[in-house]
Amino acid sequence: LESSVLAQPWASVRFGESAFVAKACFRDTGYILLVSDLSSVWYESAGAEAVGQRSKELNKRLTVPVSSFLHHLRNLMRPFLAGQPDTTTTFSCHHTAGSLSLHVKSELSGLPFYWDFHCCPAPVEMVSRHLVRPLIRMSLALQYKVQELTSLLLRKDAEIEDYRESGAALSRDRLRTERFQEEIFQQNFMTEVRSHAT
């Protein structure tokens, strides 16, 4: 399950008034859910036995196989993580110092359906594997792309300047661009990064 959820992208979600990023993977044998507010990371990994026990506690009137509960949870979470939550389903959360509980209220087979995700703090290795290392890799890839595009823009400016010196002129003045200023671009870029970080 964890190797499967590693391939899933993080999604921006809201539980009530609180903003988080989350990812999840559901199988017939259980599920794993990761949630972060970018300060802390919580997770829950539950097998079929734990799901069956909790479903009996929360949904006494529902008598369906555990695999059906897991399938229904997956169908509720998939559109939610895609930013298209079902209007008949509500999500809320309760956050304490050491845990994060997510409450789901929906319907299954025409009856009320309730589910609680009991998330605990993720171990350091899990945080590193799912959040830190992917973010560093993405940051390095973006830095490389910025350097590549900067080099391309500088070469384009040199090419345009060569055309101008050869007597070429624009047929449409609105296409004229200013020369790319690498230092100013880097300063503006870092200012934007810092503003988003705060």
Read off the pLDDT of residues 11-50 as tens digits, 9 standing for 90 and up: 999 887 888 999 999 998 999 999 999 889 999 999 999 9
Q: Model confidence at 96, in pLDDT bands (50, 70, 90)?
A: confident
The whole-number average pLDDT for the span 90-115 is 88
CA 42-57-37 angle, 5° bins: 15
Architecture of the CATH domain 1-122: Beta Complex (2.170)
The whole-number average pLDDT for the span 108-120 is 90
What percent of the chain lies above the pLDDT cut of 90? 43
The whole-number average pLDDT for the span 43-68 is 90
Measured CA to CA in angstroms, residue 191 lies from 180, 185, 195 at distances of 18, 10, 6
Whether 1-122 and 128-196 share one fold: the answer is: no
pTM of the model: 0.77
Whether the Cβ atoms of residue 134 and residue 126 lie closer than 8 Å to each other: no
Report the pLDDT value the prediction gives residue 198, as an integer from 0 to 100: 59
Residue 122, class by beta-carbon neighbours within 10 Å (0-12 exposed, 13-18 middle, 19+ buried)?
buried
Q: Model confidence at 196, in pLDDT bands (50, 70, 90)?
A: low
Q: Which residue has the higher pLDDT, 36 or 173?
A: 36
Q: Which residue has the higher pLDDT, 75 or 85?
A: 75
The whole-number average pLDDT for the span 187-197 is 78
C-alpha–C-alpha distance, residues 11 and 22, integer Å: 5
Q: Can you read off the two tokens belonging to residue 95?
A: 């956050």
C-alpha–C-alpha distance, residues 11 and 73, integer Å: 17
Report the pLDDT value the prediction gives residue 3, as an integer from 0 to 100: 80
Would you list the domain boundaries of the chain?
A: 1-122, 128-196
Q: Model confidence at 136, in pLDDT bands (50, 70, 90)?
A: very high
Architecture of the CATH domain 128-196: Orthogonal Bundle (1.10)
